[in-house]
Structure 1
Amino acid sequence: MADPSADKLPLPTLTAMVVGSMVGAGIFNLPGRFATATGPFGAIIAWAIAGTGMYMLARVFQALAEKRPDIDSGVFAYAKAGFGDYMGFLSAFGYWLGSCLGNVFYWVLISSTLGRFFPGLFGDGTSATAIIVSLAGIWAFHFMILRGVEQATFINTIVTIAKIVPIIVAILAFIYFFNYAQFSENFFGGVGMPEKTLVAQVRDTMLITVFVFLGIEGASVYSRYAKRRADVGTATILGFVAVTGLMVAITLLPYATAPRADIAGVANPSLAGALELVVGHWGAVFISIGVLVSVLGAYLAWSLICAEVLFAAARSNDMPRLFAAQNGNRVPANALWLTNIVVSLFVISTYWSRDAFNVMLDMTSVTALLPYLLVAGYGVLLARSGVGYETTPGERGRDQVFAWIAVVYTLFMFVAAGLKYVLLVTVLFVPGTVLYFWARREQRARLFTPVELAVFAVTLLGGAIGAYGLATGLITP
C-alpha cells in the first residue's frame, strides 16, 4: 500500500511556495514607486510599519496553524470559524477575486516588460498584441496545471530559485556603487521632492507594501498538502523574513546610486531602470529577463492558490458544489476554469484602461485586506477563548497582542487605501454574492443571520455608491 505522506510537501517546498508567492511583480517595481512618493527616511518608516504589521499577521497565521490544525486552507476558513458563514464567503470570494486581479497585473507587467524590446507590438502592456499574448499564456498555464499540482509546485520551486538570482545581482551592484553623499542628498527627498507631509509620503507607499507581501499566507493555503502541520507556520515565518530583507534592500539601495527624481522617472519595471542608471543598458535587459521568469513563476503559484481557495470553499459548503470537483490528477478543475475565465475577461478589459498597471496593483492590495482583517480578528477571538491553548496557556497573552496589532495594521491600511478603492471593490463583491445564494440554496440553509444581513446591506450600499461613481465619472479606475 502506498505511503499517504509520499505526496505531501516538506518544509523547504512549503517555504518555496511562500517565497514564490511573494517574490513576483511587486518587488521589481519598488524603486520607482517609493522614489515617486518619498526619500529613504520616509521609506524606512513605511517599511517599519509594513514589516511590523505583516510580521504580526505572519505570527497570527503561525499560531492559527498550530492551535487549529483541523482547519485547512486557512485564509477564509478562519474567517468562517470566527465570524460566520457570510463573512467566510466574503473572505473566500475577496481573496479569490484579489488573486485573479493580481494575475491580471502579472500579465500587464509581462507585456510592458516585453514592450522594452518590442515597443511597437506591446507598448505599455495593454495593446491588442499584448492582450492576445496574455490570453495565450493564461490558457497554456491552465492546461499545464490540470496535469497535476505536484508537478506545478516542483516547477515553482525551480523558478523561485531562478528568479532570486537577478535580485541578488542587482543588490550586489547597488552595494558596489553605493555613494554615501548621494544617499544623504536623497534622504529627505532631495532635489525636486513634491511638497507634501511625511505622513502623506508614507501613506502613498502603503498599497505597494501590501501588494509585495501578498503570498505570506501561501503555506497556510496549502496546509492540506503539508507533511507536518507545524511546517506551515515555520514556512510562513522563514519566507517572510527572507523576502522582507530583499524588499528593503531593493527599496533603499538605489537611493545611494542616483538622484531620487531620476529613479522616480524610470519606466516599469522600475528595478530594471534603476539598475540601468548604475551599470548601463545590460542591467535593464538582465532585470527584464528576471522579471519575466519571476512573474511567470508567481503567476503559476497564484493560479494554484486561486483554484485551491475556490475548491476548499466549495468543499466546506461556502461556494457551490460545482467547484469541489477534482480531476484524475487531484486538481480542482472547475475552480481553475472559472478562475482563468475571469482573469481572461479582466485582461481583455485592460485594453480600455488608462493606467491598468497601477489600478490592478492597488485593487489587488485592497481586496486582500478584508481576508487579512478577518484572519487577525479570529486570532484575537481564539486567544481570548483559550481553545487550542490547553497545553500552552502561557502563549495566549502574547498571541492576543500579536493579533490585535495585526487588526490595527489592516484597519490602518484600509484608511491609507482611500475610499475610492474600497468602493470599487464592493462593486465587484455585489455580483459575487450570487455564488453565496447558490451555495446556500444547495444546502437549503438560511441565507443570513441578522448581523450578516446588515453586512450584506452595507456591501450593497457601497456597491451602489461605487457603481454610481463609475457611471458619472466621479470615480475613475
Structure 2
Amino acid sequence: MDTNNVNSQNGLGVVRLTAFAIGSTLGSGVFSISGDMAANGAGTGAVLIGWLICGIGMFALMMCFYELNQYRPDLKSGVYSYAREGFGDYMGFNSAYGYWIGAMLTNVSFATLLFASLGYFFPVFGEGNNLISISCASVFIWFTVFLVLRGVSQAATINLIVVIAKILPIIVLVLSILFVRAFKLEIFLDNFWGEPGGLSLVEQVKATTYATVWTFIGIEGAVVISGRAKKSRDAGTATIISFFCLLLIYVMISVLSMGVMTRAELAALGNPPMAGVLEHVLGSWGAIFVNIAVIVSLTGATFTYTMLASEAAYEPAVQRCFPKFFAGENKRKAPASALIISNIVIQVFLIIVLFNESTYQVFYTLSASMVMLPYLLSSMFYLKLVFRKEGELGQLRGRQQLVQRIVAIGGTIYGAWLFYASGITYILITAILYTPGVLLYIWSKNEAGEKPFCNKINLIIFIVLVIMFVASVVMIGNGTIKPF
C-alpha cells in the first residue's frame, strides 16, 4: 500500500483534516466528564488509570478502523459492512441497528443537556427533563427534520461557529485554572484512591468506562475523511494527531478539575459540570460563558445527529440490510422515510425522559452501550483479516506484520473490556433495545425472498438475545434494574 499516493491535488491537507476530525468528535462529553466521573464514584487515581486504558484501547480501535479503510476500501458502509463481511448478515444487521439506535439516543442526550443548560438562564427548564423542556426539545428536533427535508445541510459557517463554541471554554478553563492558581495539589491527592469504604479501585476504573467511551464516540468517523485527503499518508497523520489532541484535552480537563474541587463537590455539580468548575474559579460569569457555549454547541450537534441518525438507517436500507421503505427519498433527495421514522423513535425516547425524569447521563450511557457491539465486531473483523493474511495484509512481513497484529489484538481486547466494564445490568438493558430489531431483520429478509436464520449460529445468537430480553423484562418488573 503506497501511503504517498495522491488522491486529489485539491484534497485536504494534514491541518484541515485534523481540524475536521477534532471538530466532528468533540461533543457534549467534554463539558461533563469531570462531574460525571466523580458522580460515579471514581477517585483521581482511577480516573487517570481509566484514561490510560481508554487511550491505549481507543487508539488501537481507531487504528483498526483506519486500517480497514485502507485495506478494504470496497466495504463502503463502515460498521455494518465490516460485521456482515466478517460474521454474516444477522451480525451485520445488529451492528447497523445498534449504531442507528445509538445515534438516536445520542440526540436524546443532546436535547436533554441543551435544555438543562438553558435552565441556567431560564429556571422554567429545570434539569432539561420536565414538561416544558421536553415540549420545546420536541419542537426543536422536528424543526431540524423540516430543514433537512427541504434539503438544508449544515453549512461550513455554522460548523465553524460550533467548533469555536466547543474549544473556547476549554481554553478558558485551562488558562484560568493555571493563571488564577486554582489547582491545589492537596485537593488532587486527597481522594486519589477513592473514599474510604467506597468502591474498590477496579470498580472505580470500570465506572469511568461510559464517560471515556462517550467522549470518543464518532472517532471512527475520522477515518472516513481519508477519501478527502490530498495524500493517503496525510489522512493517517491527521487521524493520529486528532486522537492524541482529543485525549490530551480530556485528560487535562479531568485532572485540573480534580485539583480545583473535591470529588464530592464535583459530583454535586449541576449540568453541565464544566460550568460549575469555571464558576468556582472565576465566578458567575464563568458559568454563563460555559452554558452559552454548550447551548451553541449542542444546537449544532443536534442538527448534525438528526441527519446522522437518518443516514444510519438510510444506508443499510440501500444495502438491503434494513427494509426498503427506510430508503425512501423526497424530491430534494433527502432520506425522508429514514428521517421521519428516526425522529418518531427519538420522540418516544423524549417522552420516556419526561415520565422517568431521566438525565442526559442515562441516555449517553445507553448510547455508548449500543455502539460497543459495532466497535467490537469491527475490531474482530480486522483481527480475522490480519491473522488470515488476506489481500495486501498477506504481503506484510516483519515489523509491519507485527504492528498490524498488535493493533488488531489491542482493538479487540479493548472492545471486550468495554463489555466487561459495562456490567451485566447494562448488557441486559441493551438486549431490550436490540431484540425488537429482529422484526426489521425478518422484514428485510422477506423482501429479499430469503429465509431468516438459515444459519444455525445466527439462530443461536437470536435465542440467546431473546432469553436476555425476557430476563431483563422480569428484572425491570421486580425493580432489580431500571433502564431509564
TM-score (normalizing by structure 2): 0.90
Partner Cα distance (1:333, 1:228) in 2: 35
Partner of residue 172, structure 2: 169
Q: Is the 8 A contact 2:102 2:367 kept in 1?
A: yes
CA shift for structure 1 position 194 = 5.7
Q: Secondary structure at 1:267's aligned position in 2? A: coil
Cα distance in 2 for residues equivalent to 1:370 and 1:157 = 32
Partner of 1:401: 406
Aligned partner of 2:265 in structure 1 is 262
- Which deviates more from structure 2 when the two are superposed, residues 232-241 or residues 204-213? 232-241
- Residue 388 of structure 1 deviates from its aligned partner by 3.1
In structure 2, distance between residues paired with 1:333 and 1:222: 25
- Corresponding residue number in structure 2 for 1:458: 464
Per-residue CA shift, 1:402-431, capped at 9, x if unaligned?
Answer: 121111112111121111111111111111
Tell me, in whole angstroms, the C-alpha distance in 1 between the residues paired with 2:304 and 2:31: 17
Do the aligned residues in 1 keep the contact of 2:169 with 2:289 (CA within 8 Å)?
A: yes
Query: Does residue 91 in structure 1 map to residue 92 in structure 2?
Result: no
Confirm whether residue 311 of structure 1 aligns to residue 314 of structure 2.
yes
For 1:183 and 1:52, the matched residues in 2 are separated by 27
Is 2:359 the partner of 1:356?
yes
Q: What is the rounded CA distance, in whole Å, between the counterparts of 1:152 and 1:307 in structure 2?
A: 18
Q: Which amino acid aligns with 2:446?
A: R
CA drift at 1:244: 1.3
Contact 2:116 2:127 in 1 (8 A): yes
The secondary structure found in structure 1 opposite 2:74 is coil
* Matching of residue 366 in structure 1 with residue 369 in structure 2: yes
Alignment of 1:112 with 2:116, yes or no, is yes
Q: Which amino acid aligns with 1:432?
A: G
Residues 1:63 and 2:74 are matched in the alignment = no
Q: 1:345 to 1:201 in 2, by over 3 A?
A: same
Displacement of 1:400 in angstroms is: 2.1
Indicate the residue corresponding to 1:443 in structure 2: 448
Report how many aligned residue pairs link the two structures.
472
2:435 counterpart residue number: 430
Q: Is the CA contact 1:372–1:410 (under 8 Å) kept in the aligned structure 2? A: yes
Using the TM superposition, give the Cα deviation of residue 20 of structure 1 relative to its aligned residue in structure 2, in angstroms. 3.4
> 2:143, 2:15 → 1: CA distance?
27
1:145 and 1:424, CA in 2 relative to 1: closer, same or farther beyond 3 A? same
Change (3 A) 1:294 1:474: same
Aligned to 1:474: 480
Q: C-alpha separation between the residues in 1 aligned to 2:126 and 2:291? A: 15
Indicate conservation of the 8 Å contact 1:21/1:302, yes or no.
Answer: no
1:103 matched residue in structure 2: 107
CA deviations over 1:334-364 (Å, ceiling 9, x no partner): 2222211111111111111143333212111
Q: Is the 8 A contact 2:93 2:441 kept in 1?
A: yes
Which runs of structure 2 are paired with 1:176-195 in the superposition (5 Å)? 176=179, 177-186=181-190, 188=192, 195=198
Does the aligned pair in 1 maintain the 2:154–2:304 contact within 8 Å? no
Structure 1's 322 and 475: CA in aligned 2 closer, same or farther, altered over 3 A?
same
Once the two structures are TM-superposed, the CA of residue 264 in structure 1 deviates from its matched residue by 2.1
Residue number in structure 1 paired with 2:250: 247
Aligned pair partner of 1:277 in 280, 290, 295: 280
2:321–2:441 Cα contact (<8 Å) kept: yes
Say whether the 8 Å CA contact 2:110–2:360 is kept in structure 1.
Answer: no
Aligned to 1:134: 137
| 2:77 equivalent among 69, 73, 76 | 73
SS in 1 for 2:393: coil
Distance 1:443 1:131, change over 3 A: same
Pick closer, same or farther for the CA change 1:150–1:106 going to 2, 3 Å.
closer
1:34 maps to which residue? Answer: 37
Question: 1:154: how far off?
Answer: 5.8
Could you say which residue in structure 1 is the equivalent of 2:5? none
Return closer, same or farther for 1:292/1:372 CA change in 2, 3 Å cut-off. Answer: same
- Structure 1 residues 451 and 11 mapped into 2: Cα distance closer, same or farther (>3 Å)? farther
TM-score by length of 1: 0.91
TM-aligned CA deviation for residue 117 of structure 1? 1.7
> C-alpha distance in 2, partners of 1:143/1:299?
13
Indicate the larger mover: 406-415 or 453-462.
Answer: 406-415
Label 1:107 to 1:8 Cα distance change in 2 as closer, same or farther (>3 A): farther
What SS class does the counterpart of residue 355 from structure 1 fall into? coil
Offset of residue 150 of structure 1: 5.4
SS at match of 2:219: coil
Q: Secondary structure at the match of 2:481?
A: coil
Distance 1:298 1:244 in 2: 20
Matches of 1:328 and 1:161, distance apart in 2: 34
The amino acid that maps onto 2:417 is F
Moved more, 165-174 or 178-187: 178-187
Deviates more, 1:225-234 or 1:153-162: 225-234
Task: Please list the CA deviations of residues 116-170 of structure 1 after superposition, one character each: whole Å capped at 9, or x if unmatched.
Answer: 2222x21111111101110111112222233447545663344223321112111
Per the alignment, do residues 283 and 458 of structure 1 end up closer, same or farther by CA in structure 2, a change over 3 Å counting?
Answer: same
Helix, strand or coil at the partner of 1:389: helix
Identity %, equivalent residues: 37
Cα shift readout 1:291-313 (whole Å, capped 9, x = no counterpart): 11222232233233222222221
- Whether 1:143 aligns to 2:146 is yes
Query: Residues 329 and 356 from structure 1, CA distance in 2 versus in 1: closer, same or farther, beyond 3 angstroms?
Result: same
Give the Cα–Cα distance (whole angstroms) in 2 for the partners of residues 442 and 157 of structure 1.
43
Check 1:216–1:74 CA distance in 2 against 1; reply closer, same or farther (3 A cut): same
Unaligned runs of 5+ in 2: 1-7
Shift of 1:246: 1.0
**Aligned equivalents of 1:10 and 1:340: distance in 2?**
36
Using the TM superposition, name which of 240-249 and 18-27 deviates more. 18-27
Q: What letter corresponds to residue 408 of structure 1 in structure 2?
A: I
Whole-Å separation in 2 of the counterparts to 1:152 and 1:7: 20
- Structure 1 window deviating more from structure 2 (141-150 vs 98-107): it is 141-150
